[in-house]
Amino acid sequence: MNRNIVSSFVENLFWILPLIAIVSLWNYILPIFVVLVISYILYIILDPLVCFIERLIGVRIISIIIVLSTISFPLYIGGNYLYDTFSSNYLDIKNYMTKVVHTSTVDSDEVIVYEDTIEHTVNNNIKNHKEIENTYDNELNRIRVLDLENLSSDIEKRILPLLPEFAKESVKSFFKEFQGDENRKKITNIISQYFNFGNTIFLFSSIGSTVMFILITISFVIMLLANAQNFKKSFIKMVPNRYFEMSLKIIDRISDQISAYIRGTFMAATIVGVLSIIALQTVCTVFNMPHKYIILVGVIAGVFNLIPFIGPIIGALSGILLFILSVDPSNSSNIESASFIIRYYHIIFICAAFGAVQLIDNLVTSPLIISDSVGLHPMFVIIVVLIGGYALNILGMIIAVPFAAILKVIVEELTWGFRNYRFS
Amino acid sequence: MAHPIWSNIFKLIGKKRSEAEIALKQVPIFEDLNRRELKGIRNIVHEREFLKGEYVFKANTPGLGMYIILRGTIRIEGEDGTEFATLSSGDFFGETALISEDKRSANAKALGDCRVIAFFRSDLLEIIRRSPVFGTKILFNLSNIMAARLKKTNKLLQETNPNFNESKYS
Closest listed residue to residue A136, CA positions, set A108, A161, A157, A164: A108
Pairing of strands B107-110, B74-77: antiparallel
* Closest residue in chain B to residue A50, using alpha carbons only: B130
Is there a contact between A355 and A390 (Cβ–Cβ < 8 Å)?
no
What pLDDT was estimated at residue A163?
66
Query: Which residues, other chains included, contact A231 with Cβ-Cβ below 8 Å and sequence gap of 6+?
Result: A224
* Closest residue in chain A to residue B46, using alpha carbons only: A233
> What is the rounded CA–CA span in Å between residue B75 and residue B114?
11
What pLDDT was estimated at residue B147?
92
Q: How many CB atoms lie within 10 A of CB A224?
A: 20
Looking at B18-58, list the stretches that DSSP marks H as alpha helix, in order from N- to C-terminal side: 19-26, 35-44
Interface of A with B in 156-215 (CB under 8 A): none
Q: Do A229 and B126 touch (CB under 8 A)?
A: yes
pLDDT in tens, B119-153: 998 888 888 888 888 889 889 998 998 899 899 98
Note the residue count of chain B. 170
Please list the ranges in chain A whose pLDDT falls under 70.
Answer: 1-3, 86-165, 174-210, 327-342, 370-374, 422-424
Is there a contact between B114 and B72 (Cβ–Cβ < 8 Å)?
yes
The shortest CB-CB distance from A233 to any of B46, B55, B131 is to B46
> What is the rounded CA–CA span in Å between residue A93 and residue A82?
16
Interface of A with B in 80-119 (CB under 8 A): none
Domains of chain B: 18-159 (2.60.120.10)
What pLDDT was estimated at residue A125?
41
CA distance A418 to chain B (A): 10
pLDDT in tens, B72-102: 899 999 888 888 888 888 888 888 888 888 8
What pLDDT was estimated at residue A95?
63
pLDDT in tens, A187-223: 666 555 544 444 444 445 544 566 777 888 889 999 9
Q: Is pLDDT larger for residue A10 or for residue B16?
A: A10
A260 - beta bridge partners?
none
Query: Which residues, other chains included, contact A328 with Cβ-Cβ below 8 Å and sequence gap of 6+?
Result: A334, A337
What pLDDT was estimated at residue A129?
42
* Closest residue in chain A to residue B53, using alpha carbons only: A424
Q: Do A424 and B58 touch (CB under 8 A)?
A: yes
- B chain contacts of residue A263, beta-carbon cutoff 8 Å: none
CA-CA-CA-CA torsion sign (A386, A392, A398, A402) = negative
What pLDDT was estimated at residue A133?
45
The crossing angle, in degrees rounded to 10, of helices A210-237 and A26-57 is 80
- Cα A147 to chain centroid distance, Å, stands at 28
Task: Return the DSSP state at B62.
Answer: B
Is there a contact between B110 and B140 (Cβ–Cβ < 8 Å)?
no
The crossing angle, in degrees rounded to 10, of helices A294-304 and A60-97 is 110
Q: Considering only A413-422, B3-12, B66-75, which range has the smallest mean pLDDT?
A: B3-12
Cα separations in angstroms, A251 against A41, A235, B19, B101: 17, 10, 28, 16
Closest listed residue to residue B108, CA positions, set B100, B98, B116: B116
Closest listed residue to residue A412, CA positions, set A201, A256, A202: A256
Q: Is pLDDT larger for residue A10 or for residue B158?
A: B158
> What is the rounded CA–CA span in Å between residue A316 and residue A191?
20
- DSSP element (H, E) containing A119: none
What pLDDT was estimated at residue A66?
92
